[in-house]
Amino acid sequence: MPNLKDELHHSGWNTCSSCFSDSTKSRSKLVLPGLISSRVYIIDVGSEPRAPKLHKVIEPKDIHAKCELAYLHTSHCLASGEVMISSLGDPQGNGKGGFVLLDGETFEVKGTWERPGGAAPLGYDYWYQPRHNVMVSTEWAAPRVLRDGFNPADVEAGLYGNHLHVWDWQRHEIVQTLPLKDGLIPLEVRFLHNPDAAQGFVGCALSSTVQRFYKNEGGTWSVEKVIQVPPKKVKGWMLPEMPGLITDILLSLDDRFLYFSNWLHGDLRQYDVSDPQSPRLAGQIFLGGSIVKGGPVQVLEDQELKSQPEPLVVKGKRVAGGPQMIQLSLDGKRLYVTTSLYSAWDKQFYPDLIREGSVMLQIDVDTVKGGLKLNPNFLVDFGKEPLGPALAHELRYPGGDCSSDIWI
């Protein structure tokens, strides 16, 4: 990129399965917002994916002027052909969960998707389901709270999110706000891929829960906790109890398996969600994390493990950090994982990541019985980048994937 300190974080396509009926559309442009800079890069990958070109740069001032939004996160394409990007805040760093609309052809900033004055108090991720006239958005925190690192006092002060916002898809306005019990910092949200489904899941990072949201018999929306990762009592860490910190969740394309990462505990999990109300643990693997043997943290009490996991070494490299962003192959057999969350939090929780760079690993998935197994021959080491160690975050498939595509 031609600029520094953008904090490239998440990405999306100019078009996806929501535009399936339009044969003129092609998935040729990657939309890459800067979480901190609020700059948006449009990358042309259509003609030669191995040699992408910078197609356009949308400067922050354009977004600030037309939308009064900043700190941009999730990008999805819409059936209208437009591109929509969620925001965490306003240009001053206060919380503001709004949505920037881009023209899908010219990538000009059109304004906000929500009505004037109708933004949520906090923002992060979103997913929409037109057959139910609904969109659900989540909350991290105001940018000024999270930007420079995690302070436990901010949790005590109630500055981190714990709500889901339910929007009327046609009217572009919030119709319900659902408080989450044991639901601090709801991050990634996933409806089931089946467009008829009126339910989905959200991963709540700090509470380390997965919550199921669903349309109830009265036609409004409800939420219930379906998975709880218990904290571990520890010594040698910033707090006496360490949460798992669920930072990414993913549904397989057939909606059978739910995957999530515990960035601090260091494990990746696979749950059978054939019955979405009663997920069943089907696979688990440890890939680094904060509680490995020989590290600074001693586990005093653990409801799940009998001993601390071994450090992970792949192709001679000891892996720093823990499993963070995940992406699944379309056949569900290969799960890819990276280890960086966000540079300011990486620096705080895993300082080795800053020095060594992150990695990408590949997990082989048993899609019949369930189960996860590390591929010992696969390693992408971002510590060896020509310009120095890099922190890799989200992963995308050129043809669309489990978290980019929405069916309508």
pLDDT at 246: 98
Structure tokens at 229: 């990762």
Dump pLDDT digits (tens) for 102-112.
Answer: 999 999 999 99
The upper half-sphere exposure of residue 372, i.e. CA atoms within 13 Å in the direction of its Cβ, equals 25
Q: Kindly report which listed range (18-32, 83-97, 350-364) carries the lowest average pLDDT score.
A: 18-32
- Rounded to an integer, the average pLDDT of 368-390 is 96
Counting DSSP H helices and E strands in the chain, the numbers are 5, 30
- Rounded to an integer, the average pLDDT of 378-407 is 92
Residue 21 has pLDDT above 90, yes or no: no
Q: What is the distance between the alpha carbons of residues 397 and 331, in angstroms, rounded to a whole number?
A: 12
Residue 138 has pLDDT above 80, yes or no: yes
pLDDT at 15: 85
The backbone region for 109, taken as left when phi is positive above 0, alpha when psi lies in -120 to 50, beta otherwise, is beta
Q: Where do we find the tokens 């959200």?
A: 202
Dump pLDDT digits (tens) for 203-237.
Answer: 999 999 999 999 999 999 999 999 999 999 999 99
Q: What is the distance between the alpha carbons of residues 73 and 325, in angstroms, rounded to a whole number?
A: 14
How sure is the predictor about 24, in pLDDT bands with cuts at 50, 70 and 90?
confident
pLDDT at 50: 84
pLDDT at 53: 93
CA 340 to chain centre: 12
Report the length, in residues, of the chain.
408
3-state DSSP assignment of residue 8: strand
- The residues with which 280 forms a beta bridge, in sequence order, are 272
Q: How many CB atoms lie within 10 A of CB 29?
A: 24
Residue 67 has pLDDT above 90, yes or no: yes
Q: What is the distance between the alpha carbons of residues 393 and 341, in angstroms, rounded to a whole number?
A: 6
- Rounded to an integer, the average pLDDT of 12-41 is 87
Q: What is the distance between the alpha carbons of residues 82 and 15, in angstroms, rounded to a whole number?
A: 8
Evaluate whether 137 touches 120 at the Cβ level (below 8 Å). Answer: yes
Residue 191 has pLDDT above 80, yes or no: yes
Residue 192 has pLDDT above 90, yes or no: yes
Residues 6+ apart with CB under 8 A from 245: 205, 206, 208, 262, 263, 264, 265
- The residues with which 224 forms a beta bridge, in sequence order, are 212
Evaluate whether 100 touches 83 at the Cβ level (below 8 Å). Answer: no
Burial readout 318-350 (b: 16 or more C-beta within 10 A, e: otherwise)? ebbbbbbbbbbbeebeebbbbbbbbbebbebbb
CA 393 to chain centre: 9
Dump pLDDT digits (tens) for 340-353.
Answer: 999 999 999 999 99
- Rounded to an integer, the average pLDDT of 27-56 is 92
CA 228 to chain centre: 19
Q: Where do we find the tokens 């940018």?
A: 143
pLDDT at 329: 95
Vertex 65: Cα angle to 64 and 68 (nearest 5):
50
- Rounded to an integer, the average pLDDT of 244-273 is 98
Percent of the chain clearing pLDDT 90 (strictly above): 91
- Rounded to an integer, the average pLDDT of 383-387 is 93
Residue 181 has pLDDT above 90, yes or no: yes
Q: Where do we find the tokens 């929007």?
A: 167
pLDDT at 394: 96
Nearest to 76 by CA among 18, 163, 9: 18
How sure is the predictor about 84, in pLDDT bands with cuts at 50, 70 and 90?
very high
Residue 283 has pLDDT above 80, yes or no: yes
Residue 27 has pLDDT above 90, yes or no: no
pLDDT at 23: 72
pLDDT at 399: 81
How sure is the predictor about 17, in pLDDT bands with cuts at 50, 70 and 90?
confident
Evaluate whether 9 touches 41 at the Cβ level (below 8 Å). Answer: no
Burial readout 190-207 (b: 16 or more C-beta within 10 A, e: otherwise)? bbbbeeebbbbbbbbbbb
CA dihedral sign, ordered 338, 343, 347, 352: positive
How sure is the predictor about 25, in pLDDT bands with cuts at 50, 70 and 90?
confident
Residue 18 has pLDDT above 80, yes or no: no
Percent of the chain clearing pLDDT 70 (strictly above): 100
Structure tokens at 14: 């100019």
Q: How many CB atoms lie within 10 A of CB 260?
A: 25
Q: What is the distance between the alpha carbons of residues 400 and 29, in angstroms, rounded to a whole number?
A: 12
Q: What is the distance between the alpha carbons of residues 160 and 152, in angstroms, rounded to a whole number?
A: 10
pLDDT at 188: 98
Q: What pTM, to 2 d.p., does this model score?
A: 0.96
Q: What is the distance between the alpha carbons of residues 273 and 77, in angstroms, rounded to a whole number?
A: 27
pLDDT at 139: 98
- Rounded to an integer, the average pLDDT of 356-381 is 97
As a whole number, the mean pLDDT across the chain is 96
Q: What is the distance between the alpha carbons of residues 7 and 39, in angstroms, rounded to a whole number?
A: 10
Strand (E) or helix (H) holding 363:
strand 359-365
Residue 371 has pLDDT above 90, yes or no: yes
